[in-house]
Amino acid sequence: MHRPCHGDSPPPNCLHGCFSSSPFHGAATSDHPPDPTPTVTSATLRRNFAQTTVSTIFPDTQFADPNSLPSLQESFSDFIQAYPNYSETYKIDRIRSDHYFHLGLSHYTCLDYIGIGLYSYSQLLNYDPSTYQISSSLSESPFFSVSPKIGNLKEKLLNDGGQETEFEYSMKRRIMGFLKISEEDYSMVFTTNRTSAFRLVAESYPFNSKRKLLTVYDYESEAVNEINRVSEKRGAKVAAAEFSWPRLKICSSKLRKMVTSGKNGSKDKKKKGVFVFPLHSRVTGSRYPYLWMSVAQENGWHVMIDACGLGPKDMDSFGLSIYNPDFMVCSFYKVFGENASGFGCLFVKKSTIPILESSNGSGMVNLVPTDNPISLHALEINRTETDSFSSIIEYRGLDHVDSLGLVATGNRSRCLINWLVSALYKLKHSTSSRLVKIYGPKVNFNRGPAVAFNLFNQKGEKIEPFIVQKLADCSNISLGKGFLKNILFEEECEGVKDRVFEKRRNRDEEQGISVLTAALGFLVNFEDVYKVWIFVARFLDSEFVEKESGRCGVHVFEHKSREVV
């Protein structure tokens, strides 16, 4: 691991930002500062971003040989040329070096989950920052554990945490402050996870009055399946938005009709039910217009926001006071790249609580602190000492994100995800057929920090995502998997449908597309996405899967029999 430099700013074209000992330090840069950027419109900025990406990232170049790819340094030079503002995010590299150094020591690239970490890795253990050697006295403390909480959701919300411990109260205040959620307007409960939060809403909302549930997801989600199941059981009419092939954009005309139409197609403004809106897809990276929330509210829907897939500071630009959703769900994990366990949070607008029905379902939890420096004697401190107690607990994961702000974290993920999308499309077989198929948005200023894709062999046959994922694990890369659904093929695309859809067994013959996903957290750097690109390029070798599967112990042929329509 490299030591951080002591200057206030990084070398202008340094791969690792603040690492003075990086082997890439000192790459050639211009001696003259760039000319001031003229004021441009938002549309022009987005168009210029896409054009710059296409014209700068390996322009007019295709790679058919995995050994012909440019080096890490060459690729990074092109990357900085395309996205010079990336250099302004060097502070993230320093935070990664100082507080999440296990990512470098383990040489592991984590791209399989999106979320927000509460703590830093450096809080887990004692270490010598001068040598970056991990101490043998690694603490086994997970900071806290969760235990089931019995009770009525509505009563808990009305009491607004009257039974909570000081540790829970401190955690709640920090989270609500981080998300910029007003304690005067919203009540909150801790849940086991995202799925539990969805279930609690379904069990408490008055669906038995024949109200509806309308969801907007382009992928299969356990949480969405659960809210659908419980809501339908309680009398709700369940519906889902559709997404048009191939860009997987919301079918606006159909969704607008579902949102605005009342019984028998008439328009009325009686409370219709719950409109569940995720802001963007955590699988494809598609971002959805916030306007849909306003349209839903104007037409009598209670709006539920799924914020679990948002970037670390995306709530800063959300405009919570403008949209005032009735429900909001988010989730937190403990330490990025080390401990992905955590909990979910369900926020309910206080003016909405009275309409809820009493329910005693499972899903709420207590947070039980462990005996470590951040939460010692948490249960013995009086409520009157809350402020001093809160200052004892450090949530360095949240503190780090707060210190960076929306601009730095947003610009960094935007540059990295668009470079990865562009670079993946440069990989082609010698037969000129594409190795990579990307689902959803391609190079796009507004895309989220996730990409859905599949790999295909020289014959055009899809390589099972399961196999790719297992081989990635052998290369110290964690990729996720997803199942795209609710896809609408217009008449001119009907011929494609039979080639891309697959049926999943034991799922009522449900049709969709199994995909790989790569999700970029705020600590991901260029070396991480380059590593993914190099790994994917190895599939250009027609013998790679067979050879690598044997080395990794992956039984390829067991997973080639899945029915493909």
Query: pLDDT per position in the chain (565 positions), as tens?
Result: 333 333 334 444 456 543 333 333 333 333 344 444 455 677 888 889 999 999 999 998 999 999 999 999 999 999 999 999 999 999 999 999 999 998 888 888 999 877 788 888 888 765 444 444 444 334 444 688 899 988 899 999 998 766 788 889 999 999 999 999 999 999 999 999 999 999 999 999 999 777 999 999 999 999 999 999 999 999 999 999 999 999 999 999 999 999 998 654 455 556 799 999 998 999 999 999 999 999 999 999 999 999 988 777 777 767 777 889 999 999 999 888 877 788 999 999 999 999 999 988 789 999 988 754 443 333 333 444 545 545 567 899 999 999 998 888 999 999 999 999 999 999 999 988 999 999 999 999 999 999 999 999 999 999 999 999 999 999 999 999 999 999 999 877 777 888 888 877 655 667 899 999 999 999 999 999 999 999 999 999 999 999 998 888 887 654 443 333 2
Q: Which two tokens stand for residue 212?
A: 């509806």
| SS3 readout for 333-392 | EEECCCEEEEEEEEEEECCCHHHCCCCCCCCEEEEEECCCCCCCCHHHCCHHHHHHHHHH
Check residue 506 and give its pLDDT. 57
Q: Residue 8 has what DSSP assignment?
A: S
Could you read off the pLDDT of 312-351 as tens digits, one per residue? 777 776 777 788 999 999 999 988 887 778 899 999 999 9
Q: 86 and 419 in contact (C-beta within 8 Å)?
A: no
Q: Which residues contact 305 (CB under 8 A, 6 or more apart)?
A: 277, 278, 279, 293, 323, 325, 327, 328, 329
Could you read off the pLDDT of 526-549 as tens digits, one per residue? 999 999 999 999 999 999 999 998
Check residue 23 and give its pLDDT. 31
Closest CA to 468 of 417, 528, 536, 404: 536
- Residue 483, classed as helix, strand or coil, is strand
Phi/psi for 195 (5° steps) reads: -60, -40
Please state the pTM of the whole predicted model: 0.86
Distance CA 72, CA 53 (A): 18
Distance CA 40, CA 45 (A): 6
How far out from the chain centre does Cα 135 lie? 32
Check residue 391 and give its pLDDT. 52
Q: Which two tokens stand for residue 144?
A: 């806290």
Phi/psi for 7 (5° steps) reads: -75, 170
If one counts every other C-beta atom within 10 angstroms of the C-beta of residue 232, the result is 14
The residues with which 437 forms a beta bridge, in sequence order, are: 454
Strands, sheet with 249-250, edge to edge from the N-terminal-most edge strand: 249-250, 243-244, 487-488
Q: 19 and 4 in contact (C-beta within 8 Å)?
A: yes
Closest CA to 246 of 539, 554, 496: 496
Task: List, as one string, the DSSP characters of 489-529.
Answer: --GGGHHHHHHH-EEPTTTTT-EEEEEEEEE--TT--HHHH
HSE, CB side, 13 Å, CA atoms: give it for residue 89.
26
| SS3 readout for 295-334 | HHHHCCEEEEEECCCCCCCHHHHCCHHHHCCCEEEEEEEE
